[in-house]
């Protein structure tokens, strides 16, 4: 994020040690860490709120497109007031088979 190298971090630590002093340095670092954590939490909360708003906007746009497509399909499709569902194969009567005169097929003849 800030692209601080090792030498720059060492320089900041030495200056902080000289300015703040070795006695108060742990408390100062603790306070800095606490405020850094709070700042990160606030930015995370802000980002999640922004992402949620974007998702809601995308959802609303998708719903509008879906409704438009639905209207278009309904306008193109004619209504069928006399619609009757097709019968299932079990309910359909089977065609009658012709009566067989001989039980043996004609192309097969009995062996002598």
Report the predicted TM-score, pTM, of the whole model to 2 decimal places.
0.47
Task: Say yes or no to pLDDT of 8 above 60.
Answer: yes
User: For tokens 């002093």, what's the residue?
Assistant: 21
What is the per-residue pLDDT across 45-96, written as a single tens digit (0 to 9) for each? 999 999 999 999 999 999 999 999 999 988 888 776 666 767 766 666 656 6
Identify whether the C-beta of residue 20 lies closer than 8 Å to the C-beta of residue 28. yes
Place of tokens 């209207």: 71
Confidence band of 43 (pLDDT split at 50, 70, 90): very high
Whose structure tokens read 């089977």?
94
Residues 6+ apart with CB under 8 A from 110: 104
Q: Which residue matches tokens 């065609």?
A: 95
Helices (H), the chain: 6-20, 25-76
Average pLDDT of the chain to the nearest whole number: 83
56-65: long-range pairs with CB below 8 Å, 24+: none
In residues, how long is the chain?
Answer: 112
- What does the H/E/C string look like for 73-93? HHHHCCCCCCCCCCCCCCCCC
pLDDT value for 31: 95
- pLDDT for 41 equals 97
- Which pLDDT does position 103 carry in this prediction? 57
Q: What pLDDT sits at residue 9?
A: 85
């Amino acid at each position: 994020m800030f692209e601080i190298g090792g030498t720059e971090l060492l320089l900041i630590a030495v200056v902080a040690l000289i300015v703040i002093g070795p006695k108060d340095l742990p408390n100062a670092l603790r306070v800095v860490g606490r405020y850094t954590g709070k700042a990160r939490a606030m930015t995370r909360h802000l980002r999640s709120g922004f992402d949620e708003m974007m998702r809601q906007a995308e959802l609303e746009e998708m719903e509008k497109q879906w409704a438009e497509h639905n209207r278009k399909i309904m306008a193109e499709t004619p209504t069928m007031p006399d619609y009757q569902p097709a019968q299932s194969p079990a309910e359909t009567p089977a065609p009658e088979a012709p009566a067989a005169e001989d039980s043996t097929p004609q192309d097969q003849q009995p062996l002598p």
